Amino acid sequence: MKYSYSEIRIPEDMASEVLTLASRYYAKQNQGYKLSELIEAGAEVHIPPKLIELAVLEVQAKHQQELERQKKTNNPVKSF
């Protein structure tokens, strides 16, 4: 016999844990903003879209440089 999800019963003591974990998955999946959302937020305080785009590029480059710096310090080259 095949069961549908709506027929499966989750014990009360597990429900809270299931919902907590599911909310973490949801938050992780939906982190961040679309560029259009940042542009819209910037428009509300009169920041032109081109400046938002420029700032995004600059912050991305900064984060990339930081990642590369961390890789170098975590994996030092051994000299002979």
Q: Is the pLDDT reported for residue 80 higher than 70? A: no
The Cα 51–Cα 73 span in angstroms is 33
Q: Give the range among 2-6, 22-26, 59-63 with minimum mean pLDDT.
A: 2-6
DSSP output for 15-70: HHHHHHHHHHHHHHHT-S--HHHHHHHHHHTT--HHHHHHHHHHHHHHHHHHHHHH
Contact criterion met (CB below 8 Å) for 43 and 49: yes
Whole-structure pTM value:
0.56
pLDDT, one tens digit per residue, over 8-29 is 888 988 999 999 999 888 888 8
Contact criterion met (CB below 8 Å) for 18 and 10: yes
The Cα 25–Cα 5 span in angstroms is 19
Number of alpha carbons in the 13 Å side-chain half-sphere of residue 24: 5
